[in-house]
Structure 1
């Protein structure tokens, strides 16, 4: 009989129960760092305020919106802040990321939008490219395009509430 333990397959445990590895930077970061759930809790920490400021600068730099008077009888989409802690491969904290997002679930189909589409690459395509690179000994590089989603073109006119603060 082959058991899971023979192959080193074990059920994962919550980090709080792993007293023997609490000295790990990843475990420490997970236990100590809490992500704010909203704007009020984020304003209590200078690191999250700086992350929100960076997001606002990126939105202004990319001319994401124009401030206009509130139109009468138009659906206004709400906004909120979403906060995430980004970690390095060793588990230490890389940076704090705050994103201003629209509450898209308040949009009305046919009125606020017609189609939704998000370009994504298939996992099989990534595997083919990686296997070609390995077999031909091509060098691999990785890059991150900050705020890449801000470069898309929105064909509809969407009215969104100003973010809090």
Structure 2
């Protein structure tokens, strides 16, 4: 048996706009602009942040748009993916922010916590069975 691999599709159903270097060039392209509007709408809908007055001595957090093409398994273009991220590496705890929040949890972490909780609950009763 030989080794088989799939070559990416040469032609895409959705036109593949080049990845923009700046957000201004992305705004000029309808595909990237629509993806940016979708990302911005999702952030507003989810109440991702609250605008508050700038505390004294605080660093202003800058932002950056990340552009990427997402492909399907056959190599065809699935969509234009855009993320708006904040560059928070200049912040200092207690000066620029009071709390942090990360909505990402790996499935392996959830599995481990649930398994640990189950073993702690069932632990004393396993000797009675």
Runs of 5+ consecutive residues of structure 2 not aligned to the other structure: 112-129
Question: Are residues 73 and 66 of structure 1, via their aligned partners in 2, closer, same or farther at CA, if it must alter by over 3 Å?
Answer: same
Q: Report the aligned-residue RMSD.
A: 3.3
Q: Give the TM-score normalised by the residue count of structure 2.
A: 0.60
Runs of 5+ consecutive residues of structure 1 not aligned to the other structure: 1-6, 9-20, 126-165
Query: What CA distance in whole angstroms lies between the structure 2 residues aligned with 1:110 and 1:71?
Result: 11
Q: Give the TM-score normalised by the residue count of structure 1.
A: 0.48
Query: What CA distance in whole angstroms lies between the structure 2 residues aligned with 1:48 and 1:102?
Result: 19
- 3-state DSSP class of the match of 1:76? coil
Which aligned runs of 4 or more in structure 1 are off by greater than 6 angstroms?
Answer: 113-117
Alignment match of 1:120 (pick from 106, 112, 123): 106
- After superposition, what is the alpha-carbon deviation per residue over 1:47-71, rounded to whole angstroms, capped at 9, x for unaligned? 1110010011111111112233433
Larger Cα Rg: Structure 1 or Structure 2?
2
Question: Are residues 60 and 114 of structure 1, via their aligned partners in 2, closer, same or farther at CA, if it must alter by over 3 Å?
Answer: closer
Aligned length: 103
The question of whether the paired residues in 1 share the 8 Å contact of 2:17 and 2:31 is answered with no
Alignment correspondent of 2:92: 108
Alignment correspondent of 2:47: 63
